[in-house]
Amino acid sequence: MSATENPTVESIAALIDHAILKPELTDAEVESDLDLAGRWGVFSVCVRPSDVPRSVARLAGTGVATGTVIGFPHGSTSTAAKTAESRRALEDGAAELDMVLHIGRLRSGDLAAVTDDIAAVVAVAEGRIVKVILETAFLTDEQVVAGSKAAEAAGASFVKTSTGFAGGGATLHHLRLMRDAVSPAVRVKASGGVRGLDTLLQMRAVGVDRFGTSATETILTDVQRLAETGSTSGATDASSY
């Protein structure tokens, strides 16, 4: 993988969904983060649903896509609420949807309900990318595998580790489980705790295709430093996402 073997700012930025999801963010703070994403040329931003119109307008012409979250962060809203939220997000200009599956139903073993819930959002998306957040910190290995397989059965484009708000983030162990559980047609997104280039490269090497992080500037500054000096700073971002 070229991004792993010879990372450049462009190749790593193309893997990043810059997360702008903290509930306390002000309008000015959201706009500052959107501008940061535009400057670095990341693949996309992942914003709160109410910020989708602002993001689409502010990032127009930058090539940075706008994504948003559905059923976030708990996943326990009804399927009807998730589909309504999805429709509105798409009407507002969202290009991708990161939905939280029903964690309690997955832990209960009700895979039919979990699959149907995901499939309903996939249907509303009409071919747009849907990423399914498992919230791996709450799951056994068997549940991680089952949730990943349910996401693929429902037609999702990605399986994703975490919201970043559950006290645990992406781990190499869970990422390997997810990658092995789904076919090559389904991609894997790591989120929660991706705060430096070394971590990102380790995860990329086990098959991760996209990264949700608020530490974009730290990571991409590390790429620049690596090119200049051959080493990274090891700095971390204090964000939970």
Query: Catalytic residue at 160?
Result: yes
Sequence-distant contacts of 218-224: CB under 8 A, at least 24 apart: 219/12, 219/16, 219/194, 219/195, 220/9, 220/12, 220/13, 220/16, 220/40, 222/196, 222/197, 222/198, 223/7, 223/8, 223/9, 223/12, 223/197, 224/9
- Catalytic one among 17, 98, 117, 222? 98
Tokens 């595998």 correspond to 145
Cβ pair 163, 73 in contact under 8 A? yes
- Catalytic one among 82, 131, 149, 189? 189
Active-site residues, by number, are: 98, 160, 189
